[in-house]
Each structure stands twice: as C-alpha cells, then as structure tokens.
Structure 1
C-alpha cells in the first residue's frame, strides 16, 4: 500500500478536471450519507483521501473522523476542516488508540484494491474493534476479477457525459495512459475480490455481510458490501 500512499500524496492526475474531482467527491459524500443511521452517529471514513465534501457528511451525523494515511493529504484535511467542530482528522495509526465500541458507521471506499489481502484483514480488525456491536462497516468500490479497465473507462465516460466534462475525460484518459498511475497499476496491480470471497473475509473478521444493491460512486461494475458487527 505504501507505493499507492506516495502516489496519492503527490501531484497526480487521477481526476481529469476540477469538475470531475468535485462531482466525484460530492457523489461519494451523498452515498455515505445514505448509510448514516442517525444524526447522533459517530462516523469513520477510513483512508478517506481528499474528502472534499466531508462537510456534507458531517451535517448528517454528530461526529466525523477522517482517517488518512498520506501525510500531505492529511495536512490539507486538517487545514480545510479546522473550522468544522464535528470533523476530526486522524492517521491510521491513531485509530489503534481510539476507544473501542465508539463508532456507529465506518466506511472504507475505494481502499481495498490498494491493499494486500493481509493489509485488508488487519484494517478490518482495527475497524471492527472501533465499531459498536451492531455497528456497520461499508466497504465500497471493490474490483471484481471479471471486470477490467475497459469497464472503468466506460463508467468514467458515462459519468463525464452526465456532468459535462467529456472532453476533459478524453484528454485525461490519454494522460493517464502515460502516467505514474498506469505504471503503478501495471507494476503492482490492484487487488480484486469475487463477491463470495469478500463476504468470506468480512465474516472471518467478525461481521455479518451482504452485497449492497448499488456501488458507492459512479462505477456500477464495482461492488459495495454492508457488514454488521456481530454482538
């Protein structure tokens, strides 16, 4: 995961334009809000990235913890959300010192593909300790073994068409083909899971899990799972 952390901590071109970046984070935030159980909930966004629309998530809960491994991104989060008393920014290491059974909802969106299978197991154990009995973990944007880059490109172009950045998307795809992202994806690869395999992982970590009807974000060919911590 360290190579991917360094990539996302750099000046990367994963978003084809400012509009793409903004609508991406806005949709993620709205999808997360749909899982928040109540206005009194404590929510954890694990490896949250830039989380530009985290303010929208914070509006729907009592406390939002943004946990981010990349130090540069974490610094920007601290600066961006300093005025918001509902939001706290933490490193992943700091989660180990948080009070157990203190979180109502945890979200790991577009994270598992950048981890080894063992790293994911460790993360699930950390999050499981923090969740209250009956609390939920939402694991989103899981790549399937039978879905390749062509489906990702098609999903991006549909998203671009819906939000008016098709030209930027085409230029961005050309840039990505020559970028560090493509090189890393080719060298390291992205972790993929079949539906039964991911449910098995979540079950082994102490959850009751099922696939959600819709994926978080714009790519319907990827999967989201909702896992409930066993009492």
Structure 2
C-alpha cells in the first residue's frame, strides 16, 4: 500500500477537474450520511483521502474521525477542518490506541483495492475491535474480478455528462493513459474480490456481512458491503 500512499500524497491528476473532485467527494459524503443512524454517533472514515465534504458528515453525527495514512493529505485535513470541533484527524497507526467498542460506524471506501490481502485482514481486525456491538462497517467500492476497466470509464463519463464536465473527462482519460497512476496500476495492480470472496473474508474477520443494494459513490459496477460484528 505504501506506493499508493506516496502517489495520493503527490500532486496527482486522478481527478479530471476541480468540479470532478468536488462532485466525487460530495457524493461519497452523501452516501456516508445515509449510514449514520444517530446524531451522537461516532464515525470513522478509514483512509479518507481529501474528504472535501466531510463537514456534511460531521453535521449528521456526534464525532467524525478522519483517518488518513498520507502525511501531506493529513496536514491539509487538519488545516481544512481546524474549526470543526467534532472532526478529528488521525493517522492510521493511531487507531489501535482508540478504546474498544468506541466507534458506531466505520467507512472504508475505495481502500481495499490498494491493500494487499493480509493488510486488509489486519485493518479489518482493528475495525472489528473498535466497533461497538451494534456498530457497522461499510466496505465500499470493491472491484469485481469479472468487471473490467471499461466499466470504470463508462461510469466516469456518465457522471461527467450528468454534472457538466464531459469534455474535461475525455481529456482527463487521455492524460490518465500516460500518467503515473496508469503505470502504477499496471505495475502493482489493484486487488479484486468476488462477492463470495469478500463475504468469506469478512466472516473470517468476525463479521456478519451482506452486499449492499448500491455501491458507495458513482460507480454502480463496483460493490459495497455492510458488516456487523458477529456473535
């Protein structure tokens, strides 16, 4: 995962425009809010990225913890949300120090594909310990091995047409074909899981899980799972 952390901590071009970036994060924040069930809930966004719309989520819960491994991104998060008293920014290696059962909702969106299977297993172990007995884990944007990159392109273009940045999206796709992201994706690859494989992984980590009706974010060809502590 370290190579991907370095990439997202750099000046990358994963978003085709500022509007694309804003729409992306706003959509994710809206989807996360749909999983917040109480105004005093403690929510953990695991590997949150820039989380530009995190204030929306914070307004719907008691405490929002933004956990981010990339130090540059983490610094920007701290500055951006310095005046939001219920938003806390943490490094991933700070999470094991949190009390057992102290989190009501954990969201890991667009994270699992960048982690080796054993890294994901360790992360799920930490999350399992942190979740309250009635808490939930939302594991989003899981890549299906049967679905190719063409579906990702189609989903991006559909979102771009809907929100008015189609021309930027077309130019952005051309740039991405020659970018460090494409090279890194080719070199390292992204982890993919079938529905059965992810359900088995979650069960092994101590969760009772099911596939959500829709994915978190804009891409309907990827999968999300909702898991609760088993037993």
Taking the aligned partners of 2:30 and 2:142, their CA distance within structure 1 comes to: 18
Quote the offset at 1:230 in angstroms.
2.2
**Which residue pairs with 2:43 in the alignment?**
43
Quote the offset at 1:56 in angstroms.
0.2
**Which residue pairs with 1:75 in the alignment?**
75
**Which residue pairs with 1:12 in the alignment?**
12
Taking the aligned partners of 1:177 and 1:204, their CA distance within structure 2 comes to: 37
Quote the offset at 1:200 in angstroms.
0.5
Contiguous gaps of at least 5 residues in structure 1:
none
**Which residue pairs with 1:140 in the alignment?**
140
Structure 1 consecutive aligned stretches of length 4 or more whose deviation exceeds 2 Å: none
Taking the aligned partners of 1:230 and 1:44, their CA distance within structure 2 comes to: 19
Quote the offset at 1:142 in angstroms.
0.1
**Which residue pairs with 1:98 in the alignment?**
98
**Which residue pairs with 1:31 in the alignment?**
31
**Which residue pairs with 1:200 in the alignment?**
200
The reply on whether 1:170 has 2:188 as its aligned counterpart is: no
Taking the aligned partners of 2:36 and 2:229, their CA distance within structure 1 comes to: 15
| Aligned length in residues | 231
Quote the offset at 1:134 in angstroms.
2.0
Taking the aligned partners of 2:37 and 2:112, their CA distance within structure 1 comes to: 23
CA contact (8 A) 1:134 1:230 kept: no
Quote the offset at 1:148 in angstroms.
1.0
Under a length normalisation based on structure 2, what TM-score does the superposition of the two structures give? 0.99
Contiguous gaps of at least 5 residues in structure 2:
none
Taking the aligned partners of 2:200 and 2:89, their CA distance within structure 1 comes to: 31
Quote the offset at 1:54 in angstroms.
0.2
